[in-house]
Each structure stands twice: as structure tokens, then as C-alpha cells.
Chain A
Amino acid sequence: MGILLGRQTRVLVQGLTGREGSFHAQQMIAYGTKVVAGVTPGKGGGTHLEVPIFDTVAGAVAATGAEASCIFVPAAFAGDAICEAAEAGVPLIVCITEGIPTADMIRACAYVKARGARLVGPNCPGLLTVGEAKMGIIPPQIAKPGVVGMVSRSGTLTYEAADLLSRAGLGLTTIVGIGGDPVLGTRFADVLPLFEADPATRAIVLIGEIGGTDEEAAAALVPQLSKPVVGFVGGRSAPEGKRMGHAGAIVSGNLGTAASKVAALEAVGVAVPLTLAEIPGCVAKALG
């Protein structure tokens, strides 16, 4: 069992019958994930990929005991899909959808919190518990089992870094893609204590980028951890006021700069290499 997801976790997929949902649910099942239900309003009673389909999340949970939901619903409806999952008592919700309006996410985050659920995402690649299960779109071939827990705001940088760590023989435990939006269900500071408590994880790699202050908030937690943290911050060369692809990757005035994040991390002893290629070396060195 990883920090959030294991091979026994009963997963439902909201939007299973859609193009993206269908493709990635298939990959999730192929990796060994226990996908027990799909939800598509209007298609309840049928099956897709040999998985039973329900009209509502509540119906799916009642019939299958699903305890986690992976959301591939279009942006206009995804905020409400998150709320529906929380309302149905699903404790772990992973939302892959990109492009959800911020107002919808402010509401959804508050809604999820009030019901004691955990949301990962949106606009994220999801979760991979290496060798066990995945929720989302992380290509599993990039990660071999090992000792590093990774948490990241970027999909492809995660794949790149995980691949390097796997090739270096260090391998990974759990990868958490927290997403590239300004308002996220789970932030770095929420994930660090989970890795700290995970016996299989010996080191943590945190991949941040410009925008917001979540890396700085994470740095404030590092002194409380016994495990070494290695960081990376994307967007050192990004101009002020320009959105660099991710909705959340923007420097506003002097807020959210790479320099501020690197300084905060280095001040608490986190190595922040300039290139991804140096990450495995930094991890190996930190592990002694």
C-alpha cells in the first residue's frame, strides 16, 4: 500500500465511458488497479470495459463499496463531479480534468474539506503507487519500485524525474501529481507528512514551479521531517505576468518567483539542482 492508494483500493471512475476516461481506465486496470465501477449519468445499468456503470456516484458506492474516485469529466462539469463524490462519502478523489474555472474549484475545495474527504488535483496526472495501482494518467513504465516518494505540480517533469531515478537504481514508492492549477485539493505541505509516515519511503523529491507560495509553505515543514528532501523548481527563466501553460504557473509582481522558492527550500537544507539530471545524484548523496 502506498501513501494513498493500494492494490486493494476499490476505485470508481467518473466519466469512464468518455474517450479519455475509457482509455485511461483501461490502462489503470492493466496496471492492476481494482476498478469496481464507472459513473456516467444516463448509462447506468450497462457495463464498459467489463466494469458496471452507474448513473450516480452514490449509486456506485452503495453497490460496490468504492472508496476512491478518479474523475475524467469535462471541465464545465468537473467541479460538481468532485462535490458529488464527496457528498457520496468517497474519501479519496483524484481529478485529472484540466481547465476547471477557479470559482468552481474554490467551492469544490471547501465542499470536499467540509466532508472530510481528500481531493488530489485538478489538472494533474494523478497517483501511482509503484507496482500496485494507479489513478490517473501517469505512464507506469517510467517508475520502477524503490525508495523515493515524489510529489509534483507538473506531469511531464514528473515522468522525466521518475525515469531518471528509476534508471539510477533508486526507484520510487508513490508519485503524487498535485496539479498545475492555482487552487488545488492537495498541496506539497499536505503530502510531505504522508511520505514521512510511510515506512517504504526513504527520501522525498518535490517538483515545484513558478506561481503561488506552496513551495515556500512546504519548506516551512521540512525541519520537522526526518527524511531528506530534494527539490526542483521549473520556470526560472519565465517572464513576469505570463502564464506558462499551467493556469497556476504565473509570476505576479514579485510573488511566485522561482528565486523565492529556491531560496526558501535551500534555507532549510533542501538541495535544489539546476537540472533534472542532477536529482538522482542529490538523492543518493542525501541518503548517504
Chain B
Amino acid sequence: MKIHEYQGKQIFARYGVPIPKGQVAATVDEVVAAAEAVGYPCVVKAQVHVGGRGKAGGVKLAADAAAARGAGEAILGMDIKGLTVQQVLVEEAIGIAAEYYLGITLDRANQRNVLIVSAAGGIDIEEVAAKTPEKVLRVPIDPAFGLLPHQITAALYAAGIDAAAIREATRFIKLLDQAYRDIDASLAEINPLVLTTDGRVVAADAKINIDDNALFRHKELAALSEDALTDPLEIEAHRRGLQFVRLEAANLAGAAPAVGVIGNGAGLVMGTLDEVTRVGAPHGIGPANFLDIGGGARAEVVRNALELVVSNPDVRGVFINIFGGITRCDEVAKGILEATGALDLQVPLVIRLTGTNEDEGRRILAEQSSYQPYTDFGAAAAKIVELVAAA
């Protein structure tokens, strides 16, 4: 789960990491009030869960109230990579003497967390690492012993951080490490960490991702999880407890996201998206969503899933792909009947049903509906594409 910069900074502040003076604003009037409170010059920064907001015009400097109003008008409501800006962070502008990168994240390949330090801050660290790997210092964190102070200092010297900032940066990293562990983060990043012209060291940005699996033990963070979603369909899926991801034409090489996909098991659903993408490509048709009903899903879950998928106006057909292992085909069939009975489905539905209790599932559908489920995955995918293309 991603949280916003201002939320990340609130967490940093709790740990004593210095951050610029700032306030969140959701309306133009609030922007001006916030600017008056933090003083001029100030910076108005879009709060969205994508990178590259600066390049997109989502960060503006304001020298007075009129400029703050102008920045608020320009940024609030603007679209950055498909996301609408609903909030901005108004902060005091800081005089920058040097910018560094500090981050802790999960290193999957080595199955541990890693501290990353670079004197080349303020730009995309992945780019720095790709072009000049020698400028990025990586310190693996031992799961048993944690991050040791001497490792931090050694990394900062090796990265070429200015002597004036080493002591503060060391303190920052200790706090960052503490916060990372306390909140079950999967990423905690300060980019840039700024050495100011008046000799202070300040976290100018904050990027924190939280491990979704750990939200059960962080009630205060779990409350932010809906806030992290912006798509109304994803919000509704979250409320219904469904594993749902919406796909857009931009993800599909321009094909229309027209086929709603429901399946059991993340791998099978991913495989289904791939297959619909493949056979749909010549017709300009692609999958509209990922929706995994999980193992052992009951009829109610199937009904919930189908309702959600067809509420997406992009969807011109639905493909339900079930390989019954723990999931029982008869339960899925009952769910399909319940949902289609209640929904008055206006789009074609293709069902692929095989595995546990397959015969019972087929019997239920045959007796109470006109649906004729497929056994073969490929044939079913081709059929839904054909029906959507013809409609």
C-alpha cells in the first residue's frame, strides 16, 4: 500500500526526522491559507501515487499569495498519469546546498532489507543505479542483527556525502530504520534529503509503502488503505474484499479493456488476462480487469464479483474461468445463477468450468439457465472474444 508524501512526513515527524514546515490543502482557498501559515516563498506539491509529478507540472514555487492561488488553481484537479490531484502539500521553500538519497527497501533476491545511500539525490534512484552504479551504495541488513551504526557511517562516507551532513544523515537513517520496522514498510525513502544553505539537514520528500500483509497489526495505517485507492471500482472491490485490478487501454497496447475476467487463483487469472490479450489483439479487444475469487470461494463471493465486474461501463462481455481444486464448481455455478438472476445481465457471459464437482456444476447450470460451460480454457477465451467482437 502506498501512502501520500504528507502522510509519510507525518510518520517521519513522529520519529523526530526534521521535515519542512507544511500543510495539506484540498481547495484553492486552503492553499492560500496554508501558504500564509508556512510563509513565502513556498512550494505547492501535488499528492498523487505516481512518480514524475515535477515533470508533469505538479510542483510549483510561489513567492506570494497570488502565486500560491495560481499554483493551487493549476495543480488541484490536474491529471497526472491518469490520476486526478485532489490534495496538495504546501511547504516552506528550502535553500538547497546539496541533495542526497536515503532509502530502505526489501531486496527480494537476497531475502532481506537493504539500505540504499547516494550523494546523487533528487532524481530517480533507479536511473542513477542503472547509469552510474558506483554512485549507489547498498548495505544489506542482517535479519538477526539489524542495521549497525558503523555500517551506516561507512556507507555515507563511501557514497561521498558532505562531511557537514554525515552526523545528521546517520541519525536520519537510524530513525528511518526504526520507522521502517515499526510500521512494516516495504519502502521508506527520502529523496531528496537536503543539506540546506543554512546548514540544516531536512527530509524534502517522503515515500513510504506499507506491506499489505501486515496491515492487520497497524490499525491506524489500515485506515489509510482506502485513501490509497483512487479508482471507484477498486474502492468498491476493496469494500467487498475482492482482489481486483482494473486494466486500461494504456496497459493493453491500445486494445479496448472490454472483457471482464473472473477466475480462481492469482496465477490462473493472470494467465487468463494473457490469453484474452493474445486472442483479442487482432480484434482490438483486451481484458478489463483482474479479479481473483480465491480458493474455496462460495456462491456469494461469485455473485459479488460478477456484480462488480459488470458495473464497469467498459465491460462488453464477461469470462469466468474456473479450475476447481479447493474451489467447487457447484458453488461457482450457484453463485453465477444468483448473480445473473439478480442482475439482468446485458452482456455475453462465457463460463469455463472444470475440476472439483464439475458435473454437479454443469447440471445446476443446465437445469436452471441456458449457459453451457466450456471445459477447455483456450476455446472459452476465443469464444468470449468472438462474442464481444461481434456485439
Binding site for B on A (CB under 8 A): 75-76, 99-103, 106-107, 109-110, 114, 125, 137-139, 141-142, 152-160, 163, 180, 182-183, 207, 209-214, 217, 234-239, 242-249, 253-254, 274-277
Contact = CB atoms under 8 A, between A and B. Distances in A.
A164 to B, nearest CB: 9
A160 B113 contact: no
A139 B326 contact: yes
Nearest to A20: B296
Contacts of A253: 126
A182 B186 CA distance: 11
A156 B290 contact: no
A56 B113 CA distance: 31
Given A102-B106, A213-B109, 15 more contacts: A101-B211, A102-B184, A103-B211, A106-B111, A155-B265, A156-B263, A157-B265, A210-B270, A234-B271, A234-B274, A237-B286, A243-B212, A244-B269, A245-B243, A275-B275
Contact of B295 (A137, A157, A242, A243): A137
B108 interface: yes
B377 A244 contact: no
Q: Give the bracket for the number of chain B residues in contact with chain A.
A: 35 or more
Interface of B: 106, 108-109, 111-113, 126, 143-144, 181, 184, 186, 211-214, 216-217, 243, 245, 247-248, 251-252, 263-271, 273-278, 286-287, 290, 292, 295, 323-326, 354-356, 376-378
B267 A276 contact: no
Given A183-B111, A242-B245, A249-B266, A159 B217 contact: no
A212 B350 CA distance: 33
Contacts, number: 164
A238 B217 contact: no
A275 B109 contact: no
B267 A139 contact: no
20 contacts: A101-B211, A106-B106, A106-B112, A139-B324, A156-B264, A157-B270, A158-B267, A160-B377, A163-B355, A209-B267, A234-B270, A238-B290, A239-B247, A239-B248, A239-B251, A243-B212, A244-B269, A245-B267, A249-B266, A277-B378
B270 A160 contact: no
A253 B33 CA distance: 37
B213 A102 contact: yes
A76 B217 contact: yes
B267 A153 contact: yes
B1 to A, nearest CB: 9
Given A103-B181, A243-B245, A156 B268 contact: yes
Main secondary structure of the interface of A (DSSP, over half): loop
B290 to A, nearest CB: 6
A270 B376 CA distance: 25
A106 B263 contact: no
Contacts of B273: 235, 237-238
A72 to B, nearest CB: 12
Contacts of A157: 265, 267-268, 270-271
B181 A159 contact: no
Given A160-B377, A237-B286, A103 B266 contact: no
Given A102-B106, A156-B323, A239-B251, A247 B275 contact: no
Nearest to A234: B270
Given A213-B109, A236-B277, A277-B377, A138 B325 contact: yes
Given A209-B267, A217-B109, A101 B292 contact: no
Interface centre among B181, B267, B287 (most CB of A within 10 A): B267
Contacts of A109: 111, 143
B295 A155 contact: yes
B213 A236 contact: no
Contacts of A207: 267
A54 B184 CA distance: 32
A101 B211 CA distance: 7
Nearest to A156: B265
B266 A180 contact: yes
Contacts of B251: 237-239
Contacts of A213: 108-109
A277 B245 CA distance: 25
B262 to A, nearest CB: 12
A106 B266 contact: no
Given A155-B325, A160-B377, A101 B270 contact: no
Contacts of B275: 275
B325 to A, nearest CB: 4
Nearest to B2: A241
Contact of A245 (B144, B214, B248, B292): B292
B113 A106 contact: yes
A182 B214 CA distance: 14
B101 to A, nearest CB: 15
A248 B213 CA distance: 11
Nearest to B253: A237
Given A100-B213, A275-B278, A245 B270 contact: yes
A120 to B, nearest CB: 15
A277 B252 CA distance: 23
Contact of A244 (B112, B144, B264, B266): B266
A209 B8 CA distance: 31
A246 B213 contact: no
Given A243-B245, A246-B266, A156 B325 contact: yes
Q: Which 5 A-B pairs give the minimum distances between C-beta atoms?
A: A154-B267, A245-B266, A156-B265, A157-B267, A156-B268
A148 B299 CA distance: 35
Nearest to A164: B377
Given A234-B270, A243-B212, A160 B186 contact: no
A107 B142 CA distance: 9
A157 B271 CA distance: 8
Nearest to A108: B143
Contact of B355 (A152, A154, A159, A275): A159
A14 B306 CA distance: 36
A137 B325 contact: yes
Contacts of A142: 325, 355
Contact of B269 (A76, A107, A212, A245): A245
